Amino acid sequence: MNYFAHQTAVIDEGCQIGEGTKIWHFSHIMSGAIVGENCNIGQNVVISPQVVLGDNVKVQNNVSIYTGVTCDDDVFLGPSVVFTNVINPRSAINRKNQYLPTKVCRGASIGANATVVCGIEIGAYAMVGAGAVIVKDVKPYALVMGNPARQTGWVSEYGHKLYFDEQGRAICPESADKYLLQENKVIKIDQNHAGEN
């Protein structure tokens, strides 16, 4: 076994877990789930069948990740984040063939107690505020918060709020990476060409 699992964790047969991943107390990885390398799965986490987590995904305590969810590399899921997979659940009606896919793109962070309604995409490096309820797609680098979640700004890959000048340019205060805002979309400027501005 090339990963660590606490003795109280339940690891079903038929799941895949990457090298260097750590799975902590009372978590359950179900058959058919795929967990990448160097992930950290906190306490009391459920990862359902067919869920896919990329490499270096951090899942904090009490997170429920249901069938239909895919998280790319470097995603952060804060404590008690919940995903759904059916729009109109009823106890007496089986809708397992109606699961809607949800994708969390590379580097995105979802804050504590946020709820992600199924069938949407959270863009790369987006940041979802604590307690937010996500009911529609989130753009890459967008900062969203509230219920229902609304965009309140943009963030860098390091998670800092970006302040754009009149030319639509901003600099991350930690990394010094440069960003461009055009047509309500943010792109990271290629550092090799930054001197040409």
Coil, helix or strand for 121? strand
Tokens of 139: 């753009």
Mean pLDDT, range 117-123, rounded to an integer: 97
Which residues does 44 contact at the CB level (< 8 Å), separation at least 6? 25, 26, 27, 61, 62
Q: Is the pLDDT assigned to residue 40 strictly greater than 60?
A: yes
What average pLDDT does this structure show over 8-33? Answer: 98
Answer yes or no: are the C-beta atoms of 48 and 28 closer than 8 Å: no
Distance CA 177, CA 156 (A): 8
Q: Which whole-number Å values give the CA distances from 57 to 37, 64, 78, 167, in the listed order?
A: 8, 14, 11, 35
Flag whether pLDDT at 122 surpasses 50: yes
**Average pLDDT along the chain:** 95
Name the phi and psi angles at 157, rounded to 5: -65, -20
Q: Is the pLDDT assigned to residue 15 strictly greater than 70?
A: yes
- Contacts of residue 196, defined as CB under 8 A and 6 or more positions apart, other chains included, come to none
Q: What is the pLDDT of residue 1?
A: 80
pLDDT higher for 197 or 161? 161
pLDDT value at position 190?
75
Contacts for 23 with CB less than 8 Å, ≥ 6 apart: 3, 4, 5, 6, 9, 11, 17, 29, 35, 41, 45
Domain at 4-155, CATH from 2.160.10.10, 3.30.310.160, 3.40.50.1950, 3.20.20.70: 2.160.10.10
What does the pLDDT average to over 125-141? 98
Side-chain half-sphere exposure of 168, counting CA atoms within 13 A = 10
Whether 112 and 78 have beta carbons less than 8 Å apart is answered as yes
Domain range summary for the chain, segments of one domain joined by +: 4-155, 161-197
pLDDT tens digits, one per residue of 138-152: 999 999 999 999 999
3 state SS of 192 = helix
Q: What is the pLDDT of residues 183-194, one digit of tens each?
A: 999 999 976 544
pTM for this predicted structure: 0.94
